Structure 1
Amino acid sequence: MELSAAVFDLDGTLIDSEPRNQVMWTWLFERHGAAHDPALIASFAGRRGREVLAELIHLFPGRTVEELFAEAVAYEHGPEAPPVGVVPGAVELVRALHEAGLPLGVATSGQRSYAEGLLDGLGVRDCFGAVVTADDVATGKPDPEGFLAACRGLGVPPERAVGFEDAPAGVAAIKAAGMTCVGVTTTVPAGALAAADHVVANLKEVDVLPGPALRVPGSGPSTSG
């Protein structure tokens, strides 16, 4: 089946930023003496920070979600924040799909200013017809609201679209939306993305075929979207 649209997550899917994000959340817990372990920090991946903090607010007596979220975001600009890079093949895939005439969208748990800044930095903002951020939805991933909104913005039924994600919460959101899912193992091992239809190490493994259609390892000539 030929694709009608593609929707990308941002952190960990187009930008290799999850290692930095995990460091930022770790700093937040350490500064407040809040109990944490790697699994707890990993639970932030793919989700809206405010929603995860609301679930864990009992670990931060006397603090509000908004205070904690603002503090964590401020760490992003600190001199000790780890650098971020581009997921291999991300820019090339986005541009190839755009040049093939495929409507493209973004569904991210990041705030709009953050998302727009990253897309501008990648030089691909003009490739996306719909950018849905944490500011645009009532419920974040694993709820499918963001991916469904992106498909609506592109004018394409979700069952005709493919979504790209690096986190279990995002994969669950894509599948709940009724979309085909390609998982990218930039953040978690392949086993954690088992619910995805296809799993790749990075976006260099995804080829654009005439149609347009996608070819990923082990999937045959194209994915169904």
Structure 2
Amino acid sequence: MTSRLPLFPLGSVLFPGLVLPLTIFEERYRALARDLLALPEDAPRRFGVVAIRDGQEVAPTGPGIPDGGAAAGFGPDPARAFYEVGCVADTASLREKDDGGYELMATGTTRFRLLSVDATGPYLMGEVEFLEETAGPGAGPLGAEVERAFRTYQKQLAGARERTLSAAQELPDDPAVLSYLVAAATVVEVPVRQRLLEAADAASRLREELKLLRLETAVIGKLPSLPATELTRQPTSHN
């Protein structure tokens, strides 16, 4: 079964359970915000977040480019500009600012596979199929290993940043929730985050994270300090 969702492309990856703050100022996304606000109070105000593939932010223009695709800013076939798997964002709060923009707060809920993109309207619409969440074999023991590795990684990263960790963070027991939290909190590039989002199940994601955390911890441990750009790179969350 498929569904249609408004799309909000970002240069970052949204994971289920994670909060997404957005400052909206581009006209096409203002139109989306207005339509979300116009929905009945009891209606879900959902949209799909898809990560933009590297190098696809600027669309070609000129003869032969369909108006819809060019207007959307992602070329004649917008679907090619995005990764195939995204995440539904459920709007928690949305308000208009004095300058006509919007402040939006949403939470990631469900992963989806992007089947096609319609660029004929004021903003992109996607035909999507929702992806089932499964634990996978060995998710529980893997979760315990990842938690230990993640705490070691945090300590090593805090040392590289020349600061100390505050009180130990409580981590969720649910393997799927843990896998998404670790994926979001690990300092890695968008393609790596996307690979974690696309993992078939929680166990596969945790297994990948265990390798990643051990590698990143080893790399940080060999460096006297990390470049500021590496330590502060975070997903941008506004358009």
Q: TM-score range by the shorter chain?
A: under 0.3
The structure whose Rg is larger is 2
Richer in strand (by share): 2
Normalised by the size of structure 1, how large is the TM-score?
A: 0.27
